[in-house]
Amino acid sequence: MKYVIVILFISVVILICIGYYFKNIGDHLMGDKLVGIGILASSFILMPIFIYHRWKNKKVKDYMLTEENLRKMRDYEKKRRI
């Protein structure tokens, strides 16, 4: 999964760079299309895959502000001040 994300990231960056190259040489329509495709691919393909990869096998409850987690944070602050 890690390599898929890296390959997709590099592909998106290259696509955006090629789009700006086309815009620089005067073909604005093709450049805008390539930059747009690169941005859409990064938003709707790369980012969800990355988020899934980072959050799989994690407990969402550990990251929520529940009463138990608030108590742990308060206890940690008390220990740190002493």
Percent above pLDDT 70 for the chain: 99
Token duo for residue 7 = 């390959």
User: b/e per residue, 23-60, with b = 16+ CB within 10 A?
Assistant: beeeeeeebeebbeebeebbeeebeeebeeeeeeeeee
Give pLDDT, residue 82: 66
- Please give the DSSP secondary-structure letter assigned to residue 64: S
Res 39: pLDDT: 97
Q: What is the DSSP letter of 61?
A: G
Contact by Cβ (8 Å): 35, 19: yes
Render pLDDT for 47-65 as a digit per residue (tens, 0 to 9).
Answer: 999 999 998 888 888 788 8
Residue spans per domain, the chain: 2-81
Check whether 75 has a pLDDT greater than 80.
Answer: yes
Q: What is the pTM of this model?
A: 0.72
